[in-house]
Amino acid sequence: MKSDKCPKCGATEVYTNINVSPKPIIPISTMGKAKIVHYVCAECGYTEMYFAEEYLGKIKQKWEKV
């Protein structure tokens, strides 16, 4: 959905919180938190969530690879 089109219904009414502060956060370790970027289709409600890119390195360090 980062491309402005909903993969579920095909609508182009996609919105994001990428430039909104503060963003929701999720713990990535006992001492660290990461911000989450959301993409929401305003037509059907389909939602995708991504860690903000600056936290991906920390996740690789702290989380177990599947």
Per-residue pLDDT of the chain (66 residues; tens, 9 = 90+): 888 899 999 999 999 998 888 778 888 877 788 888 999 999 999 999 998 888 898 889 888 999
**What's the confidence (pLDDT) of residue 46?**
97
Give the domain ranges of the chain. 14-62
Cα 26 to Cα 2: distance, rounded to the nearest angstrom: 20
Which one-letter amino acid corresponds to residue 64?
Answer: E
**pLDDT value at position 40?**
96
Nearest to 36 by CA among 46, 44, 45, 47: 47
pLDDT of 24: 81
Per the omega criterion (within 30 degrees of 0), is the bond before 24 cis? Answer: no
